Amino acid sequence: MKPLFFADDPQFWFETLRALGHAAYGGAEAGEVLATAERITAGDYDSWYDEWSATAAHTAETAATALAAGHPVTARDAYLRANNYFRVAEFFLHGDPGDPRIATAYEQAVGAFQTAAELFEPRVQQVAIPFEGHLLHGYYYRAPGDAPAPAVIMHNGFDGSAEEMHFFGAAAALERGYHVLTFDGPGQPWARFRDGLPFRPDWEKVVTPVFDWLIAGHPEVDPGRVALLGLSMGGLLAPRAAAFEHRLAAVIAVDGVYDLGEVSRALLPSLTPDQAEARLRAEEAPEVDAAIEALMKVNPTVRWAVTHGSYVMGVQTPRQFVAAYLDYSLAGGIAERITAPTLVCDAEEDLFFAGQALRLYEHLTCPRTLLRFTVAEGSGAHCHAGAQRLAFGRVFDWLDAVVRP
């Protein structure tokens, strides 16, 4: 898709499209997004923050005024949009974890969503799930009816939140009668920001206690019909969990990812894969450090991925982040251990993980479906940003056929 803004900065354009796409489930107004993007200086992280935070603050003020005046629907809608805009505002700031703007915008984003959640009918419930001495933060959406019904556990990926999953699947699933549980795992915003928990590759250790918590406290959930959906990097984490947690009734990877190590090794094209891995893991590799830093100067996506990735992986240097990616893989027979029916989504114009969805699909030995999304129909971007109703219609039609045959 041709960028409407930021033609020379695909990362800025993708995040603009992502923000705009959430309009499908109430997370944006097209005019607000386009007017904000028009004021931003391409490639300038401070400009990005300033303009998005201004739009977010104005929208939150509109919401508060409506609520005080007794207009809860108007307030709910504006708080949902404010949540999205505050999330977008602090998106590029994680290269300096001590930047106070991160905390300010993050708390405002969460607060806006939680206020909106109180205004839904039925109310969206905030939840805290015990996990290794900590509490994983999330939300539970109860579908109407008393008879046991299917449920979907959902989590985001490398850079998204449990709140954002409202727009990226939760609202769509609830409309179709699914109970929904969203949560932030280690490395994701609540766990990283509040508890300092970085990402970890053994995601089954995260999903199993979440599954147990859901089943133990919710008799309205049919324990034999619980699916797991992972978004973006979650398209690797969710299949990884399903390889070891066999109670899941279905797995959905939006979009599929097989081996992040391939992404890391590709940054050093002059070396063989084994050589690249060895140099990335070495105690010292000044030539690799220089190569990564050079890439960051000319490639906006690498620049953002390294700065944000160092924060969420809990490492100190760009090379340590790139090396950390090597541990996130479904190779070595892990993908082949999945037994639940699995849906792998594939975006034609994926900015981050091109080719990975097909790699995952080819390694699956369980019942499997590959669902392709194209540029021609407007859904070819990573995770189908900008085409959420189209994408999740297809996703949940597939799930209906699996758990409601």
Classify the phi-psi angles of 145: left when phi > 0, otherwise alpha if psi is within -120 to 50, otherwise beta: left
The rounded distance, in Å, linking the Cα atoms of 109 and 183 is 15
Q: Which domains occur in the chain, in start order? A: 1-121 (1.20.1440.110), 124-259+328-405 (3.40.50.1820), 261-326 (no CATH)
List, for residues 107-133, the tens digit of each pLDDT value.
Answer: 999 999 999 999 998 899 999 999 999
Tell me how long the chain is.
405
Helix (H) or strand (E) segment spanning residue 113: helix 100-118
- Told to judge if 329 belongs to the known catalytic residues of this protein, a careful annotator would answer no
Whole-prediction pTM: 0.96
H helices present in 218-355, as ranges = 234-242, 260-265, 273-281, 286-298, 300-313, 318-324
Sign of CA dihedral 236, 241, 244, 250: negative
Using CB atoms within 10 Å of the CB of residue 353, give its burial: 0 to 12 exposed, 13 to 18 middle, 19+ buried.
Answer: buried
b/e 116-129 (16+ beta carbons within 10 angstroms → b)? bbbbbeeebeebeb
- One digit per residue, the tens of pLDDT, for the chain of length 405 reads 889 999 999 999 999 999 999 999 999 999 999 999 999 999 999 999 999 999 999 999 999 999 999 999 999 999 999 999 999 999 999 999 999 999 999 999 999 999 999 999 889 999 999 999 999 999 999 999 888 999 999 999 999 999 999 999 999 999 999 999 999 999 999 999 999 999 999 999 999 999 999 999 899 999 999 999 999 999 999 999 999 999 999 999 999 999 999 999 999 999 999 999 999 999 999 999 999 999 999 999 999 999 999 999 999 999 999 999 999 999 999 999 999 999 999 999 999 999 999 999 999 999 999 999 999 999 999 999 999 999 999 999 999 999 998
Q: Which of 232, 264, 329, 379 is catalytic?
A: 232
